[in-house]
Structure 1
Amino acid sequence: MLTAALLWAGAAAAASPEAPAGALSCSGCHPAGKGVDTPVLSLAGRAPADLAAAMRDFRNGARAPTVMGRIAKGFTDPEIDALAAWFGAQKD
């Protein structure tokens, strides 16, 4: 019985990859789910290419300055790609 529980727990963990560095700080402002009443959009389920492009635009100053411009400057291209892929894979 214990072996079955451990195998099930391992399979569940493999099916839901860990959030990349920085994802928890994003979730502080960008809530999960459409039913949350906030002016900030959820990132879950969005196209990874769109998320990555937006982050790079904020980082490079191509989008209007907000707190995101300052936040995005702290991320490298590989980190942005990892965040975009992870948020894109989350269910909204």
Structure 2
Amino acid sequence: MAQSASHSAKIAQSLAATCANCHGTNGTPAGTRLPVLAGQSEADLLAALKGFKDGSRPATVMHQISKGYTGQQLAMLANYF
């Protein structure tokens, strides 16, 4: 079971590498114009990601980025940060 959790954590870290391009490697962007991911509740972050994916939440590029992830992957990202 621990191996499975470890494997899932590695997958989430790999998925989060895309987020790091804009939001920083630890979920805190260098600039002030982008949202901080670190410390957000998992539920709020997942709701935002789902909103980007279905187009109900306004965004610039997140609509396109989020479409590249499955629902399970979005949940892993929300849990990661």
Distance 1:62 1:86, change over 3 A: same
Tell me by how many angstroms 1:37 deviates.
Answer: 3.0
Identity %: 38
Distance 1:79 1:34, change over 3 A: closer
Tell me by how many angstroms 1:65 deviates.
Answer: 3.9
Tell me by how many angstroms 1:19 deviates.
Answer: 5.7
Segments of structure 2 that go 5 or more residues without pairing to the other structure are: 1-5
Q: Give 2:34's match in structure 1, choosing from 35, 40, 48.
A: 40
Q: Are 1:59 and 1:70, in contact at CA under 8 Å, matched by a contact in 2?
A: yes
Where does residue 70 of structure 2 map in the other structure? 76
The structure with more radius of gyration: 1
Question: Paired residues, what number?
Answer: 72
Letter in 2 for 1:37: G
Asked if 1:51 is matched to 2:51, the reply is no
RMSD over aligned CA atoms reads: 2.1
Q: Are 1:19 and 1:86, in contact at CA under 8 Å, matched by a contact in 2?
A: no
Letter in 2 for 1:72: S
Where does residue 54 of structure 2 map in the other structure? 60
**TM-score, with length taken from structure 2:** 0.74
Segments of structure 1 that go 5 or more residues without pairing to the other structure are: 1-13, 88-92
C-alpha deviations, 1:30-71, integer Å up to 9, x for none?
Answer: 123768333112211110111111011000010124100000
Where does residue 30 of structure 1 map in the other structure? 23
**TM-score, with length taken from structure 1:** 0.67
